[in-house]
Structure 1
Amino acid sequence: APYAVGVKGPDGTTKTTGHLKAGGYNGFFNSLRAQPGGWAGLIQTRSDGTVLRALAPGHGIASGALPAGVMNDYIDRVWAKYANSSLTVTPFANQPAVKYVGRVSGNVMNFTNTSGAVVTSFQKPDADSIFGCYKLLDAPNDQVRGPISRTLCAGFNRSTLLSNPNQPDAGSADFYKDSVTNHYSRKIHEQMVDGKAYGFAFDDVGAHESLVHDGDPRQAFLTLDPFN
Structure 2
Amino acid sequence: MISFKTLARAFAVLAFACAAAVTIAVAPSGAAGAAQDIQAKVHLRTVPLTIVNRSGRGKMFVFVYGTYNGTSYYVAHPAGTVSTFPNSTSYQAYGLAFGNKKKVTIRVPEMMNTRVYVSYGRKLKFTSAGGVPSTPSGWSQSDPTGGKNPNFRTLFDWFEYSWGPQPAPVPPKLPANATYLNGNQTQVDMFGLPMLFTFVGVDANNNPATLRGGFKSAKARKRIFAAMKKAGAPWKRLVIGGRKKIPLRVISPYNGISMGVFPADQFDGYIDSVWNKYTGGSAAKTVVARTTGPTQGFTGAVSGTDLVFTRTGAGGTVTFAKPTTMQAYQAWAPTVSPAGDADLQTGAGELMTMVQATLMRTTMLASNSISACPATTAYYRNAPVNMYSKTIHRYAYKRLAYGFGFDDVCNQGSDQQVFQPTRVILTIQPLNK
RMSD across aligned positions (CA): 2.3
Q: Write 1 or 2 for the structure with the bigger share of strand.
A: 2
Aligned to 2:255: 59
Aligned to 1:108: 306
User: Mind listing any 5+ residue stretches in structure 1 that lack a counterpart?
Assistant: none
- 1:179 partner amino acid: A
Match of 2:350 among 147, 169, 175: 147
- 1:9 partner amino acid: G
Confirm or deny: 8 A CA contact 1:90 1:96 kept in the other structure: no
Aligned to 1:117: 315
The structural deviation recorded for 1:178 is 1.2
Aligned to 2:415: 211
- Residue by residue, what CA displacement relative to the aligned partner does 1:43-93 show, whole Å, maximum 9, x if unpaired? 11145253111111111011111101111111111011111411112233x
Match of 1:40 among 216, 229, 236: 236
> Is 1:14–2:14 an aligned residue pair?
no
The structural deviation recorded for 1:169 is 3.5
Matching of residues 47-86 of structure 1 within 5 Å: 47-48=243-244, 50-84=246-280, 85-86=285-286
Identity in percent? 26
Aligned to 2:43: none
Instruction: Give the alignment's TM-score, normalised by structure 2.
Output: 0.48
- Residue by residue, what CA displacement relative to the aligned partner does 1:179-210 show, whole Å, maximum 9, x if unpaired? 21321011100112301001111111111011
Match of 1:165 among 343, 356, 368: 368
Give the distance between the partners of 1:51 and 1:14, measured in 2 at CA.
Answer: 32
Give the distance between the partners of 1:137 and 1:192, measured in 2 at CA.
Answer: 31
The structural deviation recorded for 1:148 is 0.7
Give the distance between the partners of 2:290 and 2:304, measured in 1 at CA.
Answer: 24
Give the distance between the partners of 1:210 and 1:71, measured in 2 at CA.
Answer: 25
Confirm or deny: 8 A CA contact 2:264 2:326 kept in the other structure: yes
User: Mind listing any 5+ residue stretches in structure 2 that lack a counterpart?
Assistant: 1-192, 337-341
Instruction: Give the alignment's TM-score, normalised by structure 1.
Output: 0.89
Match of 1:185 among 389, 399, 413: 389
> Is 1:88–2:88 an aligned residue pair?
no
Structure with larger RCO (C-alpha < 8 A, sep 6+): 1
Confirm or deny: 8 A CA contact 2:217 2:429 kept in the other structure: no
Give the distance between the partners of 2:217 and 2:326, measured in 1 at CA.
Answer: 29
Give the distance between the partners of 1:104 and 1:190, measured in 2 at CA.
Answer: 34
Q: Are residues 113 and 138 of structure 1, via their aligned partners in 2, closer, same or farther at CA, if it must alter by over 3 Å?
A: closer
- Residue by residue, what CA displacement relative to the aligned partner does 1:93-152 show, whole Å, maximum 9, x if unpaired? xx5971211100121110100127342111111111111113x6699x940222111110
More moved, 185-194 vs 21-30:
21-30
